[in-house]
Amino acid sequence: MTTPSTPKSPVVPRIAGLLVAVIGIVFLIGGIFGWFTVRAELIDENITVSDDADRFAGDRVDGPLSAYSQAETVKRHVLEATDGKTYAQLDMDDSNRDLALQGSTVRSALMTSTLSFGVSALAGTSGVAFTLIGGVLAVRRR
């Protein structure tokens, strides 16, 4: 004796798909917003990549690659001025200690910007993926 099977309801996967798609859209918007906010803040600082930089010399710092290039150039300049010593390695009475601290601060800010661009890109691309996956789940027919 065979029992009739009841068809599975497509409501749950559709709701899940819609939720995933909405989350994806939020991630995408957040990623785009983050990218352009960091870019605008860098542009407001009016930083130009040093002429002696390995890459992007003379360019405005307005993206992850130019920010990274300038951060590496700042590091090189500071190490040249301090005979290869970092802030932590300098004696307390060393006259280059303030220079090393300022260079470290500028470099950290530029590296944070570079990281922020990466996080924004990750959020945005994840948002695209989530939106596509959610869309497929939401419209999938059994």
Q: Which pLDDT value is given to residue 12?
A: 81
pLDDT category at 138 given cuts 50, 70, 90 is confident
What pLDDT digit, counting tens, does each position of 44-85 carry? 999 999 999 999 999 999 999 999 999 999 999 999 999 999
Q: How far is CA 121 from CA 94, 114, 127, 134, in A?
A: 41, 11, 10, 20
CA–CA separation, 68 and 57 (whole Å): 12
Are the CB atoms for 30 and 131 separated by under 8 Å? no
* 8, pLDDT greater than 80: no
pLDDT category at 7 given cuts 50, 70, 90 is low
Provide the CA 14 distance to its chain's centre, in angstroms: 32
pTM value is: 0.83
Percentage of the chain beyond pLDDT 90 is 84
Q: Where are the domains of the chain?
A: 11-139
Identify the burial level of 93 via C-beta atoms within 10 angstroms of its C-beta, where 0-12 means exposed, 13-18 middle and 19 or more buried: exposed
